[in-house]
Structure 1
Amino acid sequence: MNMNSVLRVFKSKRYSSPALRQFSMSSTRYDNHSCKFLVIGGGTAGCAISSKISNSYGSDGVIVLEPNNLHYYQPLFTLIGAGIKKLDSSHKEMKSVLPKKAKWIKDSVAVFEPEANKVTSNEGHTINYEYMIISTGLQLNFNAIPGLEEALNDDDSKVCSIYSPKYVTKTWTSMKDLNGGNLIFTYPNSPVKCPGAPQKIMYLAEDYFRNIAKNRNDVNITYNSSLGVIFGVKKYADALWKIVKKRDINVNLRRNLIEVKPDTSEAVFQNLDNLDEKFTVKYDLLHVTPPMGPSKALLNAKSVTNASGFVEVNKSTMQHVKFPNIFALGDCTDSPNSKTAAAAAAQSCVVEKNLKSLLNKKSLDAVYDGYASCPLVTSRNRCVLAEFDYSLNPMETFPFNQAKERLSMYIMKKDAMPLLYWNVMTKGYWNGPEIMRKIFNPFKFN
């Protein structure tokens, strides 16, 4: 039977059920698409910028290339891992989050061809664009550490991670089952999205054992970080050192996890200042923050990225350094800011304004100053709200010392920020707290 005969069968009355009609439509491959704006990625950054562009330029001009059915608000994963929130509260259907005026192609990019203003998807679609915005985020590389995936997929291994929806609930289960012993938290030798999260889950675990399980004296808690500091901004680092000392948490810097041995419940670490020095430590519970990096497509897109696979942009304008019709934002860029949702919000405003300037043949005057925010949850009722810029100088919104643990900041993190995310940021209306900062601190920041 040839293809025309097949199509006639599917169009016949006998085979016209909705399910079969949907199948016949979705099975089309190797389509050619054209658009004014192509957004690669429908995560936090991609959703924010595609909504902004759709709001400004109307229907039929924006295509979003995104493979996932669910959109996660990942900052909730820390609270889910500590049993404070449920996984179901962290996600929505992708189709309900992406802008309705944009066309969603449920696929991912395979090949970038910036010289020809087109990309090819993994399913073989070709998309031609006038302007492209790359926002593919970071890929979790659990397989980069020998033994880690095996341990994570073994319910009895006591190895967990809040960084994936697949493993985040195991963190809470493992925590509840721990009666005592060595509890180890790691920070990898790679870029990390939400770099405060490895500490947040540690503080929440310590709080659980101290105030809920009441067995804190039976648990030895260690934080092994590849970094040379506990936090990049000195003001907040000073506050965190006081917290870990007060709560009897061991901190080892420049120590990187290189192997997990689930059969013997052992973790192998390497001293990054002396690579020949390795440590094998027994664990009763191991929380791993996996190494992260760009997507495979970006790693292969040499004309768009730097040697590490991150999109090369002007850190002020977020425009590509080589292709003026390409912008990027979020975790996939080589912009030296902390990789947080707050950074993506601020960048989305800059990208939108500079796109408009480019379209109107004007200079790109909107500037991203490196703003990022990290609500460092330190217990089930306290949070340190870190805000800072490229130079790691504090950029605090509120008229009080945000390095102090506060209940108000915890409530904002737990309850207000998710509402802001779903109802304002993903719809393209949130550019960060700059206006609030100017109101609260008119002389310092104006």
Structure 2
Amino acid sequence: MNRRLPGTLRSCRRLLVAPTLTRSLSTTHKLFERQECQVLVVGGGTGGCAMAAKLSSRLGSNKVIVLEPEEKHYYQPMFTLIGGGMKRLDQSHRQMGDVLPKKAKWIQESALNFDPDKNEVSTSGGKTIAYDFLVIATGMQLKYEKIPGLVQALEAPKTNVCSIYSPKYVDNVYDCLRKTYRGNVIFTFPHCPIKCAGAPQKIAYIAEHYFRKMGRRDQLNIIYNTSLPVIFGVKQYADALWKVAKKRNINVNVNRNLVEVRPEDSIAVFEDLAEPGKLYEEVYSMLHVCPPMTAPDVIANCKQLATESGFVDVDAATLQHKKYSNVFAIGDSACTPNSKTAAAAAAQSPVVFKNLMAVIEGKKLTEAYDGYASCPLVTGYSTCILAEFDYSLAPLETFPFDQAKERYTMFIMKKTFMPILYWQLMMRGYWNGPATMRKVLSILKLKK
């Protein structure tokens, strides 16, 4: 393992380096800006904000730089509810400057290149940021363009093609529901790792419930086409979801991957992954698409940092890079085989924080991530199945009751309490997932 660390910990400071050695600079000369910090956090999403809060609180002001180009920070788990008309888009975001910790410095640019051998990152604004320690929290990128015809269908009027995965398109989902009265309503799951893997079927259940409430259900055929060989990866919850689908007459097709959209004919083309090359053309009245996703290009292009699939090559337990001991990753950008959810990032955050602090202080790494992820599977306008599981896809449940059962209490937790927890606790570095709550409830259960 490469343990190349600077001898001293730098404070974040700005150095202006001119392209000439003279003091007299013409306006045509470009200034190259170099900045230095103790910890550089690349990405201002869920994991990045949580880590910035924890690290700047411990290390103090002007020790942490956050590199993030976006103006707004979105609470993406709310997008499913927006699609069903239960929340508004303006309720799902806050200004990035209000979410990031005040002790950290925000550079509103994106990473262009990583050089882990020099401990440097170059940015879209022409800066070079030198770091002692690096936390990569870049998330995943949506690749709607990988499906021919999809972007055209999403952006053209009156196509009834929609997607909850982007703030650009999510508002149109509820409009599509309201405009659909008969025919096939199709929901898709792509053939690749995605964030929030339960969302493509959550919106299907919400849509089915909506159509029942509106008295249109008998005229509509609800179809869920997933590229996976199962409806859900954890058997306990998969068994429950098959029952939900059967009870509500939702047609589930496994191993079926969307490969093309023809909006002019309202046709979606699917490949049967069990018989590669076999295609199905399905006419739709409404089509909801979960887009293909990949690791960000800037990570995938850095062969020193990335696996062959493009994700940051970290140890699955410690979340430390396998080659560079001063590099960690959190959230969707890591190569870890857990389900990519906000809950997973919450559970990873204390592991990354404590292990990074151990490296800074020259101590051994003691914390291990168990692969915990949570997926509140909303099944309508008043019910939810709370799936919680670990790396082995074994249930790792918090509450002392059967969480595979649809419950109103879990729906209220998802709709009302989780956003509060996210903004007030996780974004401030205080929420580490429900592990402590799980232990307390287990002790109380044993005492009974």
Which bin holds the TM-score, normalised by the shorter protein?
over 0.9
| C-alpha distance 142-203 of structure 1, shift in aligned 2 (>3 A) | same
CA contact (8 A) 2:385 2:404 kept: yes
**1:155 CA displacement:** 2.2
Q: What residue in structure 1 maps to residue 344 of structure 2? A: 343
Q: 2 CA distance for matches of 1:377 and 1:156?
A: 28
After superposing the two structures, state which structure 1 stretch, 106-115 or 29-38, moved more: 29-38
Q: Which residue of 1 aligns with 2:276?
A: 275
Q: Secondary structure at the match of 1:441?
A: helix
Unaligned 5+ segments in structure 1 are 8-27
Give, as a single letter, the amino acid of the residue that structure 2 aligns with 1:419.
I
- 1:334 and 1:207 map into 2 onto residues whose CA distance is 36
1:30/1:123 contact within 8 Å kept: no
| Secondary structure of residue in 1 paired with 2:424 | helix
Instruction: Judge conservation of contact 1:186–1:289 (CA < 8 Å) in 2.
Output: yes
Instruction: Tell me the distance in 1 between the aligned counterparts of 2:413 and 2:110.
Output: 34
Alignment partner of 1:163 is 2:165:
yes
In the alignment, structure 2 segments of 5+ residues that lack a partner are 1-23
Other-structure match for 2:335:
334
Which aligned pairs between 1:73-222 and structure 2 lie closer than 5 A?
73-211=75-213, 213-222=214-223
SS in 1 for 2:106: strand
Please list the CA deviations of residues 287-313 of structure 1 after superposition, one character each: whole Å capped at 9, or x if unmatched.
000000111101211110001110000
Give the aligned partner of residue 432 of structure 1: 433
Aligned pair in 2 of structure 1 residues 29, 285: CA closer, same or farther (>3 Å)?
farther
TM-score normalised by length of structure 2: 0.93
Work out whether residues 317 and 354 of structure 1, in 8 Å CA contact, stay in contact via their aligned partners in 2. yes
- Residues 124-158 of structure 1, C-alpha deviation per residue, up to 9 Å, x if partnerless? 21000000000000000000000000000012111
Distance in 1, Cα, partners of 2:330 & 2:410: 27
Distance in 1 separating the partners of 2:319 and 2:165: 27
Matches within 5 A, 1:214-363: 214-363=215-364
Task: Please give the secondary structure, in 1, of the residue aligned with 2:275.
Answer: coil
TM-score, normalising length: structure 1: 0.93
Post-superposition Cα deviations, 1:166-187, rounded to whole Å, max 9, x if no partner, equal: 1001000010011111000000
1:392 to 2:405 alignment: no
Q: Which amino acid aligns with 2:129?
A: I
**Cα deviation code 1:390-416 (max 9, x no counterpart):** 000101100100000000000000000
Aligned length: 424
For the 8 Å contact 2:161–2:286, the answer to whether it is kept is yes
1:310 corresponds to which letter in structure 2?
A: F
Report deviation, 1:30: 3.0
In terms of fraction of residues, the more helix-rich structure is: 1
Report if aligned partners of 1:29, 1:125 keep a CA contact under 8 Å in 2: no
1:51 aligned partner: 53
> d(CA) in 1 for partners of 2:171 and 2:143?
19
Whole-Å Cα distance in 1 between the matches of residues 424 and 99 of structure 2? 10
* Residue 68 of structure 1: aligned partner: 70
State how far apart, in whole Å, the 1-side matches of 2:357 and 2:208 are: 48
SS in 1 for 2:125: coil
Task: Tell me the distance in 1 between the aligned counterparts of 2:316 and 2:170.
Answer: 33
Partner of 2:210: helix, strand, or coil? helix
Match of 2:402 in 1: 401
1:268-327 CA-partner distances (Å, limit 9, x unpaired): 000112112000110000000000011110121111000111000000000000000000
Shift of 1:356: 1.4
User: Could you say what secondary structure the match of 2:379 adopts?
Assistant: strand
Which amino acid in 2 is paired with 1:440?
Answer: L
Q: In structure 2, do the counterparts of structure 1 residues 228 and 405 end up closer, same or farther at CA, with 3 Å as the change threshold?
A: same
Are 1:29 and 1:123, in contact at CA under 8 Å, matched by a contact in 2? Answer: no
* Runs of 4+, deviation exceeding 2 Å: 3-7, 442-445
Deviations 1:175-212 (A, max 9, x none): 0011111000000001110000001100000000012x
Task: Say whether 1:372 aligns with 2:373.
Answer: yes
> Deviation at 1:362?
1.5
Amino acid corresponding to residue 127 of structure 2 in structure 1: H
| Superposition deviation, residue 113 in structure 1 | 0.2
Aligned to 1:16: none
* Aligned partner of residue 426 in structure 1, secondary structure: helix
